[in-house]
Structure 1
Amino acid sequence: MKPYILVVSLVLLLACRDKSARTSANQPLSNEELFDTYRKSVVLIQNKSYYRIRFAGGVRMYCTEINSNGHMYLSENEDRIRKEAEINYGTGFFVNERGVIATNLHVLAPIDRLLEEMDFKNSVSRALKNWSENEDRKLSVAAHRLAKTVKHDSLPGRAVSSTHLDTSRHKHFEPHFNGYKFDSVNRLKVSVDSILSQARLVKALLTQDFTIELVTADLDIYLDGATSNEDAYACRVIALSQDKNIDLALIQTAGHEVPEEAGPIAEPIYLFDTIKVTTPLYLIGYNYGPEIAKTAAGLKVQFTRGEVSQESDQYRVLYTIPALTGSSGSPVFDQFGRLVAINYKGYNTKENFNYGIHAGQLRKLLRSEKKLSLPL
């Protein structure tokens, strides 16, 4: 090896060791050093997912989104739900050498509000009740029309009650089903049978316990600098927090390894250290997903900074770092390059007023039993 090449190599090696030593020795990093160290550790998450609801009796239902008001479409047709799943974006970052990535649970799960505000069990129960009422309305309309053409004793299974044949009830529900047309008595009978079957199913499901599982149709990550879809790394979900106050989840690369071009692993601070007010903090993430990240030179992650504005507890860190939708799941570092929090929520009416999950909770999730069901 030529002398000048040897000298350059030694300088580069010492520089790398110096940066590592400064981080491990708790020496402050400059903003540029912090960003350059971790920019390749932070990933853009592209996700399409839906829910599988397993009832104790063995029935499985599916839906694309769980709403807090119980207005959701439940279906037994998984293929249909899979095709209707929508793309969502968020941020994540590598946490160990086996390709495990931390992010928020809500980045992976399509829900309409903060995780801590969701009552998944009640939402599904309300959806089932809405479905039951809908089947009841349809049965009233169909049964009344059928009763005009056949004797009551010949109604399907004699299961249609006199209540469903009540004229006033029929008139009340009719406007909801103007498109409910039949071209023959036989088809009308088949429809009544089908409605009765659905009504019995829903009634049975209302009495059964259930679990809600997250199913991913597609889950990919992109590193800073990615230029095309070919740069994606396929992943799978491996753990969801079982506490709604801890909006965290873990995914893992299909190869169970960190890509060569990725940066170092983020090391969480000691379990549940209190983060003091005015502590400088730095966020690296993908605000608005690919909308902002996409440049002529490929995807580019963003760097924003602020400080702690309220002393932390074991769950949350409040800070003045500006963040937008898409930055959920972003790592938040202190000036020594230690992971302090995982960004997860903000207030639309308050600029630079955002929360992160305390990094101690991530350490706890990494060590806990891995589950794929939602916290009910």
Structure 2
Amino acid sequence: MSEESFSEEKQPTKNSKKIKIGITIAIIVVLGVAFIPKIWAKYNKKEIVCLNGQTEIYEKFKDAVVLVKHTYALEISIKGSEPFQIEVDDSTLEPKTISGTGFFVSEDGKIVTNHHVAEPWLYGDETKNSYSYLKEHIAAVLPDSIKAEDYKAFIEKNWNSYYEGEEGDYEEESEEVVQTETPKTVDSTAVVASDNSENTSNDSSAEEAVTPEKVVNYIKVDDITITPKTVEISVALHGSKEDWLKCKVYKIADGEEVDVAVLQLNSETLPGSVTNIVDLENAVTDDSHIKPGTNAILIGYPMGMTLANTRRGIKVQIYEGQINKESDGVSLQYNVTSTHGASGSPVFNECGQLIAVNYAGYDAAQGYNFGIVAKHAAALIQ
């Protein structure tokens, strides 16, 4: 065999080795991308520094907990018209403002709170109806012939006619209704016309004088859509004097059961006064480890501005209790004092780790309150 022939036979073997090496390197890279971050995270977790009681927890997180104010109003659309708001003497249609609590969890101004703080119209009494009473009111005062650009002005002008049982102030080009006069007694001495054609003409005129009123068709209830819409969401910081920072809704948990949402400052920047955020990486996400009898510490704004406002600005409050019931995977029960306004408050264990987001309780009695376990808040930020 010649030297040239031998070289040609060996060449495929060298190419095969290169291919195998390339495949091996590719596999290593893929596995590295998939597993190295997980391994790194496992062995490089931030060390949990256990805080010593509620005072230390309060001092660390008081600036991270904010008072949330959400104002919303109802918008009306008729037959697919551009939505509009009306200003009438009816408290149902006035803008509504609710208050809640939230807490910073990121350097770009993300704030964890409750879903019912981010979209309050989906909870409470308003979920039990579709604003049918308002639709019926509008349908009773708005004629079908009114132009779309005149809907708002016409409804506002005629809103109270619904309560008075009157028709709206409706004007349209039409003939006036002619009322027949009461017939007079004929004088026996009067000359009676013998022309039959005249008598027929008079009788005909009398009949034509009785004209029925024109029927007015009104808008149908099914043509009316009423939708709640945010006017403004803003937050105030601990120690501020009602300096409100505007926010937007960033993300909301899927489903009605998990009452958690994330807001974000419009500036997307953490305020300079907030030195410690609530670190979701250190939160207790395995809720099976949260046992009844362990401490639960809530920092928030129960009663909103009623309790928060002081001579030295807005002040957050802290309350302590114990876990009363094991987690069911969604919520925890505890006996920490809480009421309206504390929705969205962080609930910590005795070390200062987040264990839940406060969301509900019983108005009739204290000591029966609930929080969504922390893993659901952490899932929204990932």
TM-score category by the smaller chain? 0.5 to 0.7
TM-score when normalising by structure 1: 0.63
Q: Specify whether residues 36 and 135 from structure 1 end up closer, same or farther in structure 2 by C-alpha distance, changes over 3 A only.
A: closer
Query: Which of residues 69, 89, 96 in structure 2 aligns to 1:46?
Result: 69
Match of 1:344 in 2: 359
Distance 1:136 1:176 in 2: 13
Total equivalences in the alignment = 280
In the alignment, is residue 300 of structure 1 matched against residue 315 of structure 2? Answer: yes
Q: CA deviation at 1:29?
A: 2.4
- Give the C-alpha shift of residue 250 in structure 1: 1.4
Task: Give the corresponding residue for 1:371.
Answer: none
Unaligned runs of 5+ in 2: 1-45, 146-160, 177-213
Percentage of pairs with the same residue? 27
Q: RMSD of aligned C-alpha atoms? A: 3.8
Distance 1:35 1:340 in 2: 15
Partner of 2:326: 311
**Cα distance, 1:242–1:296 mapped onto 2, change above 3 Å:** same
Conserved? CA contact 1:48–1:218, under 8 Å: yes
Q: CA deviation at 1:34?
A: 0.7
Deviation, structure 1 residue 38: 0.2
Partner of 1:103: 113
Q: 1:184 to 1:44 in 2, by over 3 A?
A: closer
The change in CA–CA distance for 1:179 and 1:97 in structure 2 (over 3 A counts) is: same
Answering whether residue 84 of structure 2 is matched by residue 77 of structure 1, we say: yes
In 2, are the aligned partners of 1:182 and 1:188 still within 8 Å (CA)?
no
**Partner residue, 2:181:** none
TM-score normalised to the size of structure 2?
Answer: 0.62
Cα deviation per residue 1:210-256 (whole Å; 9 max; x = unaligned)?
Answer: 9x6x63212221111112x4x32121122233311111221111110
Q: Secondary structure at the match of 1:352?
A: coil
Greater Cα shift, 264-273 or 275-284: 264-273
Letter in 2 for 1:38: F
2:292 to 277, 287, 290: 277
The answer for the alignment partner of 1:244 in structure 2 is 256
**1:87 maps to which residue?**
97
- CA–CA separation in structure 1 for the residues paired with 2:363 and 2:231: 30
Aligned to 1:203: 222
The match for 1:123 is 129
Q: Give distance in 2, aligned partners of 1:85 and 1:283.
A: 30
Query: How far is the alpha carbon of 1:50 from its aligned partner?
Result: 3.3
User: Post-superposition shift, 1:80?
Assistant: 4.8
Q: Which amino acid aligns with 2:73?
A: Y
Once the 2 structures are TM-superposed, how far is the Cα of residue 318 of structure 1 from its aligned partner?
0.3
- Between the aligned partners of 1:25 and 1:136, the Cα distance in structure 2 is 61
Whether the 8 Å CA contact 2:116–2:122 is kept in 1: the answer is: no
Displacement after TM superposition at 1:272 (Å): 4.2
CA contact (8 A) 1:49 1:109 kept: no
2:237 equivalent in structure 1: 223
Write the letter of the residue equivalent to 1:92. G
Q: Residue 49 of structure 1 contacts residue 108 of structure 1 at CA under 8 Å; is this kept in 2?
A: no
3-state SS, counterpart of residue 129 of structure 2: helix
The answer to whether structure 1 residue 232 and structure 2 residue 244 are counterparts is yes
Q: Which residue of 2 aligns with 1:359?
A: 374
Name whichever of 96-105 and 42-51 sits farther off: 42-51
Aligned-partner Cα distance in 2 for 1:318–1:193: 61
Code of the aligned partner of 1:333: F
Deviation of 1:25 after TM superposition, in Å, equals 2.8
Which of 149, 174, 180 is residue 167 of structure 2 equivalent to? 180
Task: Check the 8 A contact 2:68/2:99 in 1, yes or no.
Answer: yes
**Amino acid aligned to 1:47:** H
Q: Name which of structure 1's ranges 243-252 and 269-278 shifts more when overlaid on structure 2.
A: 269-278
Q: Deviations over 1:164-201 (max 9, x none)?
A: xxxxxxxxxx9965233658785899xx88753x21xx
1:194/1:288 Cα in 2 relative to 1: closer, same or farther (>3 Å)?
Answer: farther
1:325, distance to aligned residue in structure 2 (A)? 1.3
* C-alpha distance in structure 2 between counterparts of 1:252 and 1:194, whole Å: 50
Task: Quote the offset at 1:349 in angstroms.
Answer: 2.1
CA distance in 1, matches of 2:266, 2:135: 41
Shift of 1:52: 5.9
| Equivalent residues of 1:50, 1:109 under 8 A apart | no
Give the distance between the partners of 1:307 and 1:299, measured in 2 at CA.
Answer: 27
Give the CA deviation at 1:315: 0.8
Q: Is the CA contact (8 Å cut-off) linking 2:111 and 2:262 kept in structure 1?
A: yes
Q: Could you say if the C-alpha distance between residues 194 and 256 of structure 1 is closer, same or farther in structure 2, counting changes exceeding 3 Å?
A: farther
